[in-house]
Amino acid sequence: MDKYSFLNAAHTSFFAEMYGKYLTHPDSVEPSWRAFFQGFDFGMESALDEVGIDTQSGTATLSNGHPVEIPETLQKEFQVVRLIDGYRSRGHLFTKTNPVRERRKYSPTLDIENFGLTEADLDTVFNAGEIIGIGSNTLRNIITHLQQIYCDSIGVEYMYIRSPERVEWIQAWLNRNNNHPDFNKEQKKHILKKLNQAVSFEGFLHTKYVGQKRFSLEGNESLIPAVDTIVERAAKMGVKQFVMGMAHRGRLNVLTNIFGKAAKDIFSEFDGKDYEQEIFDGDVKYHLGWTSERTTENGNKINMNIAPNPSHLETVGAVVEGITRAKQDAHFPDDFSKVLPIVVHGDAAIAGQGIAYEVVQMADLDGYRTNGTIHIVVNNQIGFTTNYLDGRSSTYCTDVGKVTLSPVLHVNADDVESVVHASLFALEYRMRFQRDVFLDLLGYRKYGHNEGDEPRFTQPKLYKAIAKHPNPRDIYAEKLMAEGVIDRDYVRQLEEEYKSSLEEELEDSRKEEK
């Protein structure tokens, strides 16, 4: 009997599973199998010390010169596993994450021809489907699932992580619902409510304080339901305090709709009123911090801190980590996870400022660690007037996150459900593994840098597209109406009620002298 007949007799799903493990974590595979896969892998021909494979003829030559024929079905299984690995490693390059312009083109693509497969294989059933949780399935269905998981509104980078446990957890999380949100009607209505607050607040300021600097969040309003979701869910998971830092853009919106600062106080600041406290000389409104106690929907009381930031950009990140560590040492020395830092970055700033790297690379040091920070990038695809292609060498602004082997999720900021879904991933990852995680919210900046400059002078094509683009709330409202979750009157009432509350706050603010 041929002592190498095991190659013909073994079930192909076993080979597929083993090969998948080899691709992700070679050291986790038994040495003789690792040598076999080294021989099979097209890109590892120089490593054929134990096994030599002729992929054209489908034969393997062992170290003693004995030839073994590899069944064609097994060869195809390997090729499908390589296709799955391709999507896991590079799928993020082929997503639908940019709401206002085409993505850059990358090659090679994920076309099946690049993996030794053809259209004739599309209806063949492969055991490799078990790797992505759909069991033995046709190649056509496997590709559909891979595109849903890795190439829709969320792009995921994680295959560089060296911990098998973390990689396997991420893959299991992504395989649930094919990395798509699954919210009930009430959850969808709540997301719409927070998104409406974000959009309406900016629109209100734009009409009441024309031309004043506010560093609007317009184009990235989904930040508000994202942070709201993190706060609500984290409180259920035992988090007691939040420390947040961000630059100017979106700060007023976050202060009002997340931290509960009264809108009338912000209106008073726009009106240039003095402060009642004699010890406080005052500062511009988009520099100010805030501390509050928020009661979540489940009745949990949590302390909320947003650090003041008189600097433009990334300096506040280090301040946030310091405040967080001080709170952890003082109040929760045995469980750092109870204090959660969230740092909101600009895309040009996180890519261009050295302090971003300095803060990230200290994340796991005993003297500085805070057991995981959620980093959220408000990505306008522009730095003041500079196009992102002229602002950095890296593919993504978040590539600094790879210093600590942190997972990065790139999300289309117009798809608010995907943004919230990715936010839940970020929170669960941080709480489980006590490590950093990055969210890159790809949106746009509706106006100039500070509402006082004209962006069309430097970015005419981009801003022509932005001018025609509907806001995220209207996009989401249309989606929910199409699903039958709400009707048009519901949206109108939601908007009118919130704007009416802002009008009342504005009236109240104008009754006060300070």
303 three-state secondary structure: strand
Q: In this predicted structure, what is the pLDDT of residue 287?
A: 79
Write down which residue in 178, 202, 233 finishes a domain. Answer: 178
Statement to judge: residues 6 and 90 lie in one domain: yes
Q: Where are the alpha helices (DSSP H) in 408-513?
A: 416-433, 460-467, 472-483, 488-509
Average pLDDT over residues 459-464: 89
Q: Is residue 183 part of a domain?
A: no
Looking up residue 290, the CATH number of its domain turns out to be: 3.40.50.970
What is the percent of the chain with per-residue pLDDT over 90, rounded to a whole number? 62
Are 314 and 349 in contact by the 8 Å Cβ rule? The answer is: yes
Give the separation between CA 4 and CA 77, rounded to whole angstroms: 19
pLDDT digits (tens, 9 = 90+) for 179-238: 999 999 999 999 999 999 999 999 988 888 777 878 889 999 999 999 999 999 999 999
Q: Is residue 185 part of a domain?
A: no
Segments of 288-338 assigned E as strands: 290-295, 301-306
Statement to judge: residues 257 and 292 lie in one domain: yes
Q: Is residue 83 part of a domain?
A: yes
Q: Is residue 13 part of a domain?
A: yes
Q: In this predicted structure, what is the pLDDT of residue 41?
A: 60
Q: Is residue 187 part of a domain?
A: no
- Tally of domains within the chain: 2
Q: Is a pLDDT exceeding 60 seen at residue 4?
A: no
Q: What does residue 59 show for φ and ψ, rounded to 5 degrees?
A: -120, 150
Statement to judge: residues 200 and 151 lie in one domain: no
Q: Is a pLDDT exceeding 60 seen at residue 505?
A: yes
Residues pairing with 51 in the sheet: 62
Q: Which two tokens stand for residue 332?
A: 């929760």
Write down which residue in 128, 147, 178 finishes a domain. Answer: 178
Average pLDDT over residues 237-250: 93
Statement to judge: residues 331 and 390 lie in one domain: yes
Q: What is this structure's pTM?
A: 0.86
Q: Is a pLDDT exceeding 90 seen at residue 286?
A: no
Q: In this predicted structure, what is the pLDDT of residue 382?
A: 87
Higher pLDDT residue, 488 or 456? 488
Q: In this predicted structure, what is the pLDDT of residue 28?
A: 72
Give the separation between CA 2 and CA 252, rounded to whole angstroms: 74
Give the separation between CA 27 and CA 87, rounded to whole angstroms: 22
pLDDT band at 313 (very low <50, low <70, confident <90, very high): confident
Q: Is a pLDDT exceeding 50 seen at residue 2?
A: no
Average pLDDT over residues 54-72: 58
Statement to judge: residues 275 and 406 lie in one domain: yes
Statement to judge: residues 207 and 89 lie in one domain: no
Segments of 289-350 assigned E as strands: 290-295, 301-306, 339-346
Q: Is a pLDDT exceeding 70 seen at residue 53?
A: no
Average pLDDT over residues 470-490: 96
Average pLDDT over residues 244-253: 91
What is the span of the domain harbouring residue 64?
Answer: 1-178
Secondary structure percentages of the chain, helix, strand, coil, to 5: 50, 15, 35
Query: Tokens 């002229």, residue?
Result: 390
- Sign of the alpha-carbon dihedral angle for 123, 124, 130, 135: positive
pLDDT digits (tens, 9 = 90+) for 81-118: 999 999 999 999 999 999 999 989 999 999 999 999 99
| Residue 410: half-sphere exposure toward Cβ, Cα within 13 Å | 29
Q: Is a pLDDT exceeding 60 seen at residue 55?
A: no
Average pLDDT over residues 247-270: 88
238: left (phi over 0), alpha (psi -120 to 50) or beta: left
Higher pLDDT residue, 506 or 161? 161
Statement to judge: residues 198 and 107 lie in one domain: no
Statement to judge: residues 174 and 201 lie in one domain: no
DSSP per position, 224-282: HHHHHHHHHHHHHTT--EEEEEE-STTHHHHHHHTS---HHHHHHHHTTPPPS-TT---
Residues pairing with 447 in the sheet: none
Statement to judge: residues 128 and 76 lie in one domain: yes
Closest among 49, 40, 42 to 19, alpha carbons compared:
40
Average pLDDT over residues 388-417: 94
Q: Is a pLDDT exceeding 50 seen at residue 44?
A: no
Write down which residue in 151, 178, 205 finishes a domain. Answer: 178
Give the separation between CA 183 and CA 181, rounded to whole angstroms: 6
Average pLDDT over residues 477-486: 96
pLDDT band at 383 (very low <50, low <70, confident <90, very high): confident
Q: Is residue 270 part of a domain?
A: yes
384: left (phi over 0), alpha (psi -120 to 50) or beta: left
Count the Cβ atoms, other than its own, within 10 Å of residue 284. Answer: 10
DSSP per position, 106-155: -SS---GGGGT--GGGTTSEEGGGGGGTS-SEEHHHHHHHHHHHHSSSEE
Q: In this predicted structure, what is the pLDDT of residue 48?
A: 35
Are 248 and 215 in contact by the 8 Å Cβ rule? The answer is: yes
Statement to judge: residues 326 and 433 lie in one domain: yes
Are 253 and 218 in contact by the 8 Å Cβ rule? The answer is: no
| Residue 186: half-sphere exposure toward Cβ, Cα within 13 Å | 1
Q: Is residue 186 part of a domain?
A: no
Statement to judge: residues 169 and 199 lie in one domain: no
Statement to judge: residues 141 and 247 lie in one domain: no
Q: Is residue 320 part of a domain?
A: yes
